[in-house]
Structures are given as structure tokens and as C-alpha cells.
Structure 1
Amino acid sequence: MTRVFITGMGAITPIGNNVETFWRNLVAGQSGAGRIQQFDTKDMPYNIACEVKDFDPTDYMDRKLARRVARCTQFGIAAAKQAIADADLTIDERNRDDIGVLIATGGGGISEIEFATEEMVERGWKTVGPFVVPAAMSNAVSCLVSIETQARGPVMT
């Protein structure tokens, strides 16, 4: 069995968009709950959730990629890049085949399907972009983290 060491951490959460802020707010007992801002809740019985706030994906990826991927994938890429920086890890030809990506997700970019369906109903199928299905796939997060970080080891979801 190969031993694995976690040497870096990253965090994109409702109470902080980096490990330091997340931990400080967690220890202080700060709640990430608040009124939902990401979408209209007027017809819903509830309007409270724990949303990530003040997150700019272009701090971690170019604008073109940020537009093409689901928000959860943006979070995954950002947290992975934070963890790599925290570990002071350089991924290059010497080690990239030994570095893998394993990310667990309950639904991946499932919201992309919802948005595309709504768009198709309101404006027709031709308005749905070609990146909807790749963005919605549950393995999109781990695959794009691997691509963005150049980690070529095992990739699992």
C-alpha cells in the first residue's frame, strides 16, 4: 500500500474563501447561512441557505474557462490551487504522473442542466450552449482540476 500525505489545504466555503478565513470564522462560530442570493426564491417555501460569497473565479482561472464551467467546478479548481500553493508544491515533468485528483461530489454541475432546460423552454434549443453537458457531468470537477493543475496521476470522482 502506498502512503499518501496531505501537505496542503484549500477551502471555498460559505464562511471563508481560503483556509485561514474559513478556520477563523469556524472557531468563532460564525454561520454561513443567509438569504439566498444566487436565484429568485419568491415561489419557494424557504429562502435560507449557506452560499459561497465574494468568490471571483478569475482569481484562479481565465475568464473563458470560468464562463464554461459550473460553479462547483470553479470552487474545486480554486481549492485545489490553494492546496497546491499551501503545500509549496510544484507540479512538473518529474512528478506530474504521480499526482492524482480525487474529488467527491453529490451532484457536480447538475444546476447546469436546470439552467439549460429553463433556457431551452424560454428561448429555444438553439440558445443552449455546447458546454452544458460537459459542465454538468459529475466528473467535471476532478477532470478539470487535473487539467488545470497538470496532475496526470489517477483522476477519480
Structure 2
Amino acid sequence: MEKRVVITGLGVISPVGIGKDTFWNALLNGENGIGPITHFDATEYAARIAGEVKGFNPGDYGIDRKEARHMDPSTQFSVAAAKLALDDSKMNLDEEDRDRIGTIIGTGIGGMETLHNLYKGLFAKGPSRVNPFVVPKMIANMASGQVSIFFGLQGHCASVVTACATGTNSIGAAYRMIQRGELDAAVAG
């Protein structure tokens, strides 16, 4: 008999909205998150539109300023989405065996803003001014690692990198691990 696996909580940080209800209502109303780029000056680029997350404050999700400085925005989004999903699930982590809760979160690329800032600083100020946190901020598995650390989840921690299918494949990997009895629960996406 196969073990039943269910999704118990959802967390969304996206250009369409923050939080599952805001996100869902925007979709139902035909809204989209595409608009003029505001995060940097894009006047010299042929494409000047993108999907940017607006109104995001890491502190709203328990990420203090020092932690935020050591995380690429993509990782901050992952920690925040994980918090929203865990809150939505009503799971009390203090009553759970955290050794049996995994973290499987993927990305198509990793911390691109960190990589961009590295190159900008490297060419403007030289290699002696490269931030020592560049690699830990930008590597693809940092989102999964930071979520695991942030919530004290000590089960299997992995990152799936499969381009646009990453989120679905991450959820599928978590599903299979739970179904096989390797984990009791996982934060995945």
C-alpha cells in the first residue's frame, strides 16, 4: 500500500502578489506582475519590463537586517515563502521531529543580484573589495540551506535545478521521499 502524501500549506512570494490569497485573487482578476523595471535603471536595455516582487520586507517574515544582508533577495523570498507555507499548514515545529522534516527548494539560477553586484564591485574597486559572502549568497542550494537553518529543519536538504520545472520537480522529489518513508514532511518548491 502506497503512503498518501498531501500538501498542507502554501506560501507565495511573486510579482503577482505576496501570500496565497493575494496571489490567487490577482490571478482570478486577470492581473499580472509585469511592468516597467524599477529595481535598477534599465533605460539602456532593449527590454525594460519584468516581473518584480513589490512591497517585500524581509522583517515581515522574521528575517532580521543582519540575516538579510547575508542573503540574496531570491533566498529571502524562499525563507519568506517557507514561513507562509508553514504558517498555512498550522504545523507546530516544536511538536515535530525536525530530523524527519526535509527542505527541497530549487532555483533556475541562484542569486543573480549577488552575482551582478560582485561583477560591478570587482570591476569598479578591484578584487580586494569582493565581499566574502558572495559565494554563500549566490549558490543555487542556498535557498534550501537557509530555509533549513532558519526553521531548524534537519531532514534531507537538497536543491533541484531543472530550469522552469524546478519548483514542480522539487515538490515531486519531496513527495517521493515522504512516500518512501525517508521523511515525514518537507518544505518544497
2:87 to 78, 85, 88: 85
How many aligned residue pairs are there?
157
The one-letter amino acid of 1:34's match is G
Q: How does 1:62-141 map to 2 (within 5 A)?
A: 62-92=64-94, 94-141=96-143
In structure 2, distance between residues paired with 1:34 and 1:114: 21
The one-letter amino acid of 2:19's match is N
Secondary structure, aligned partner of 1:92? helix
The 8 Å contact of residues 9 and 87 in structure 1, kept in 2 or not, is answered as: yes
What is the CA-CA distance between 1:72 and the residue it aligns to? Answer: 0.4
Secondary structure, aligned partner of 2:6? coil
The 8 Å contact of residues 110 and 137 in structure 1, kept in 2 or not, is answered as: no
In structure 2, distance between residues paired with 1:91 and 1:150: 9
Runs of 4+ aligned residues of structure 1 deviating over 4 Å after TM superposition are none
Q: How does 1:28-67 map to 2 (within 5 A)?
A: 28-60=29-61, 61-67=63-69
The unaligned stretches of length 5 or more in structure 1 are none
Secondary structure, aligned partner of 2:18? coil
The 8 Å contact of residues 15 and 34 in structure 2, kept in 1 or not, is answered as: yes
In structure 2, distance between residues paired with 1:18 and 1:134: 27
The 8 Å contact of residues 8 and 84 in structure 1, kept in 2 or not, is answered as: yes
In structure 1, distance between residues paired with 2:28 and 2:96: 39
After superposition, the CA RMSD in angstroms is 1.3
Secondary structure, aligned partner of 1:100? strand
TM-score, normalised via structure 1 length: 0.94
TM-score, normalised via structure 2 length: 0.79
The one-letter amino acid of 1:13's match is S
